[in-house]
Amino acid sequence: MVHGHAITIEQGTVHVRVVRDGRVLAESRSPLVLRETGCPVRYYLPAEDVRTELLTPSETRTYCPFKGTASYWSVPDAQDLVWAYPEPKDDVARIKGHFCFYDTMVVQG
């Protein structure tokens, strides 16, 4: 924890699905659940659960002092919908190889 800022990562067991324009972009029963001070809960999905062939790499990069530099991907009507940390900082190394989406839906049951 740095100056009141905390990040926790837990192995999730919820079923999450990402659907855009009727197409399933990702579906996982083993997401990492990342909780960060001041941010909504985010689900990081293993690459094998993401239809990466539907994603187009973006030029966008952002830097987080706690997680590192993020790379982004887009779909035709949603720029930078998806991000990942190819080389995350040591404290969050578990998210390497995982993708996070802005629109993630938790599926009940």
Residue spans per domain, the chain: 7-107
Low-confidence ranges of the chain (pLDDT < 50): 1
- Does the global pTM surpass 0.85? yes
Q: Supply the CATH classification number for the domain 7-107.
A: 2.170.150.40
Residues 81, 99: Cα–Cα separation, whole Å: 10
State residue 56's pLDDT score.
97
What is Dmax (Cα atoms) for the chain?
42
For 26, counting Cβ atoms within 10 Å of its Cβ (0-12 exposed, 13-18 middle, 19+ buried), the class is buried
What value, to the nearest 5°, has the Cα angle with vertex 77 and ends 76 and 81? Answer: 90
State residue 2's pLDDT score.
53
